Amino acid sequence: MSGHDHHGFAHVASPKLLLTTFFVLIALTLLTVLTAGTPLVGPFGAVIAMGIATVKAALVALFFMHMYGDKPFNVIAFLSSFLFASLFIGLTLLDSSHYQNEIDAFPRTPPVVTPK
Amino acid sequence: MALAETEHGTETHAEHGHHDHAPFIAHHFDGPEQQFDSGKLGIWVFLVTEILFFSGLFVAYTLWRSHHPEIFEQAHVFLDKVLGGINTVVLLFSSLTMAWGVRSAMLGNNRNVALMVLITMVCAAVFLGIKAIEYSHKWDLGIKVAAQWQYTASHAAATFPVAKALGVSDWLIRLSIVPTITLIGFAVTAVILQLVKQPLWSKFFAGMVVMNLGYFLGVVGGQLYMKATEGGTGGHAVAVPHLQPASLIRELGTVQDEPAPAAGSQEPAPADDHAATDHPANTPAADGVDHDHPAGSETAGGHADEHAGDHAAHADPHLPDPAKLSRDVGIFFSIYYCMTGLHAFHILGGIAFLSWIYFRSLRGDWRPDYFGPVDYVGLYWHLVDLIWIYLFPLLYLID
């Protein structure tokens, strides 16, 4: 085969890049575990934890999934899923209080604790 | 993306009139790069559907957390941050080895791809082993989905002889049946294939044995951790006092606050009078015996230090009082089991796909112009990791 013109499409990640990404991910995991529930994050704990998770997700996507060297169309297709997922969650949340009165009025049977 | 066209002889060559096909290229592709790009778009689109698939569960989570934050605050004490954190690190490490495997495949180093993919599979199995410890511990306590909520702040007794002998719960034995059968099956198959001179397949099944042992590594490690923390707390979230806001535990109330720790368990908890001081669950039972668990037949109180090492029924004085939990706390666990269960099925699927990559690495299929399948499975594996990156803080780190 001719071959020579087909070797250019592999984006080989360097060991240094992979290891750096990994250790940053571990550091962020430790950070999120150690700060959870401490006065350091205060009432914004959930927001900060989600922020750290998003940074970690971005690192995984960019370097482990080598999105940084991928075709823009693939990147747009993938990121669009987050757009639609947030629309899904956001619009559902907007509508979720509408029937709260009826839900509260609905009689519920108490949970029955049965022997295991 | 199979090795589709190995019969790509001169006829095809002449018909299409372009350069020689490599053996791995399906005949409808122009060349390796076009084939690779097509597969890559395909896997990205699949990952999009995966995210939308999971997003339904994230909707359930968000709705319940926004409307009923109290059940999340009460429920998260049952989740162990240490076990969840270890599993996070295990998955991150498996992502590293996976990415390294893709790198090796791009360089055509098949030996290294096989090694990296094998480590990735072992990590996946360790993850499931630790998950089995977490699940079995919860099921022992009756922490199940909302419809089957049986939480009484006491551990179920082991009844299986093997569970008694090993000092573990029945649920852990049930969860470990399939992994034990597969382990034996893989080992026997590897030996037989070696005997009939099928070294490639024998090597593959030997790798599967190593992968399968990862599950038991996770189980043993998780169990040792549970035993190490059991003296104090039974191994749930409260095991890490410096990470656990003590005020929350006090606020919820623990069985320890009550005169007779094990007494509350046999009373059905009425839904709407949790705050009532004369709740029947808060009064000692007349004879102080735990009626739910005759197998243990220990008197209430005074046994907390005796149970270490066995798996007899016992009330755990460090667990929240069931009568003080919200009537909807089981909803959290419905969501928890759906999210982590679906994720665990993806881990299982990942092991299946990775084993296919492992076999082809042993066969030596990868070369610098053909590594697509490694890359595609790698992307899937990273997505499974990515979803866990969100699940971990959402479920384990609620404060």
**pLDDT score, position B328:** 83
Measuring CA to CA, which residue among A59, A70, A55 is closest to residue A17? A59
Range of weakest confidence among A19-28, B201-210, B285-294, B347-356: B285-294
Q: What gap in Å lies between CA A63 and CA B98, rounded to an integer?
A: 12
Average pLDDT, chain A: 85
Q: What gap in Å lies between CA B60 and CA B333, rounded to an integer?
A: 12
Q: What gap in Å lies between CA B65 and CA B74, rounded to an integer?
A: 12
Chain A, 67-96: which have a CB under 8 Å from a chain B CB? Answer: 70-71, 73-74, 77-78, 80-82, 84-85, 88-89, 92-93, 96
Measuring CA to CA, which residue among B135, B150, B142 is closest to residue B83? B135
**pLDDT score, position B110:** 96
Percent of chain B with pLDDT over 70: 73
Q: Which of B44, B51, B293 sits opposite A74 (nearest CB)?
A: B44
A111 interfaces chain B, CB cutoff of 8 Å:
yes
Q: A56 to chain B: which residues are within 8 Å by CB?
A: 389
Q: pLDDT tier at A116 (50, 70, 90 boundaries)?
A: low
**pLDDT score, position B239:** 37
Of residues B239 and A28, more confidence is placed in A28
Q: What gap in Å lies between CA B281 and CA B285, rounded to an integer?
A: 9
Inspect the interface and report whether the beta carbons of B52 and A85 lie closer than 8 Å: yes
Q: What gap in Å lies between CA B399 and CA B77, rounded to an integer?
A: 9
Q: Count Cβ atoms below 10 Å from residue A59 Cβ, excluding itself.
A: 20
Q: CA Rg, chain B, in Å?
A: 26
- SS3 per residue for B55-122: HHHHHHHHHHHHHCHHHHHHHHHHCCHHHHHHHHHHHHHHHHHHHHHHHHHHCCCHHHHHHHHHHHHH
Q: Distances from the Cα of A72 to the Cαs of A61, A63, A79, B41, B227, in angstroms?
A: 14, 15, 10, 11, 51
Dihedral class, residue B50 (left if φ above 0, else alpha if ψ from -120 to 50, else beta): alpha
Whether B372 and B366 have beta carbons less than 8 Å apart is answered as no
Measuring CA to CA, which residue among B226, B252, B250 is closest to residue B239? B226
Indicate the SS3 state at residue B227. helix
Q: What is the mean pLDDT of residues B129-152?
A: 90
Percent of chain A with pLDDT over 70: 85
Chain B, 162-191: which have a CB under 8 Å from a chain A CB? Answer: none
A115 interfaces chain B, CB cutoff of 8 Å:
yes
Range of weakest confidence among A12-21, B27-36, B216-225: B27-36
**pLDDT score, position B312:** 67
Count A/B contacts: CB-CB distance under 8 Å: 192
Q: What is the mean pLDDT of residues B155-176?
A: 90
Q: Which of B48, B107, B390 sits opposite A81 (nearest CB)?
A: B48
- SS3 per residue for B229-285: HHCCCCCCHHHCHHHCCHHHHHHHCEHHHCCCCCHHHHCCCCCCCCCCCCCHHHCCC
Measuring CA to CA, which residue among B353, B381, B329, B266 is closest to residue B76? B329
Inspect the interface and report whether the beta carbons of A36 and B81 lie closer than 8 Å: yes
Q: What sign results for the dihedral spanned by CA atoms B33, B38, B41, B42?
A: negative
Q: Which of B36, B102, B268 sits opposite A112 (nearest CB)?
A: B268
Q: Which of B99, B271, B368 sits opposite A108 (nearest CB)?
A: B271
Range of weakest confidence among A111-115, B336-340, B343-347, B359-363: A111-115
Helix (H) or strand (E) holding B394: helix B372-396
Range of weakest confidence among B220-234, B305-319, B370-384: B305-319
Whether A27 and B389 have beta carbons less than 8 Å apart is answered as no
Measuring CA to CA, which residue among B75, B216, B62 is closest to residue B145? B75
Of residues A2 and B341, more confidence is placed in B341
Q: Distances from the Cα of A87 to the Cαs of A55, B48, B63, B140, in angstroms?
A: 21, 14, 14, 39
**pLDDT score, position B147:** 85
Q: Which of A64, A114, A116 sits opposite B95 (nearest CB)?
A: A64
A97 interfaces chain B, CB cutoff of 8 Å:
yes
Q: What gap in Å lies between CA B319 and CA B151, rounded to an integer?
A: 10
Q: Distances from the Cα of B383 to the Cαs of B91, B346, B394, in angstroms?
A: 11, 10, 17
Q: What gap in Å lies between CA A34 and CA A21, rounded to an integer?
A: 20
Tokens 């046994």 — which residue? B303
Q: What gap in Å lies between CA B7 and CA B229, rounded to an integer?
A: 61
**B155 phi/psi in degrees, rounded to 5:** -85, 140
**pLDDT score, position B9:** 43
Given a cut of 70, whether residue B273 has pLDDT beyond it is no
CA dihedral B109, B111, B116, B121 (to 10 degrees): 130
Indicate the SS3 state at residue B42. helix
Of residues B298 and A22, more confidence is placed in A22
Cα maximum dimension of chain B:
93
Give the distance from CA B134 to its chain's centroid: 8
ipTM of the complex: 0.84
- SS3 per residue for chain A: CCCHHHCCCCCCCCHHHHHHHHHHHHHHHHHHHHHCCCCCCHHHHHHHHHHHHHHHHHHHHHHHCCHHHCCHHHHHHHHHHHHHHHHHHHHHHHHCCCCHHHHHHCCCCCCCCCCC
Q: B291 to chain A: which residues are within 8 Å by CB?
A: 115
Q: What is the mean pLDDT of residues B291-296?
A: 39
Range of weakest confidence among A43-47, B209-213, B318-322: B318-322
Helix (H) or strand (E) holding B211: helix B199-230
Inspect the interface and report whether the beta carbons of B382 and A60 lie closer than 8 Å: yes
Q: What gap in Å lies between CA B134 and CA B151, rounded to an integer?
A: 15
Q: A80 to chain B: which residues are within 8 Å by CB?
A: 48
Inspect the interface and report whether the beta carbons of B96 and A2 lie closer than 8 Å: no
Per-range mean pLDDT, top range of A76-80, B17-21, B119-123, B254-258: B119-123
Given a cut of 80, whether residue B318 has pLDDT beyond it is no
B90 interfaces chain A, CB cutoff of 8 Å:
no
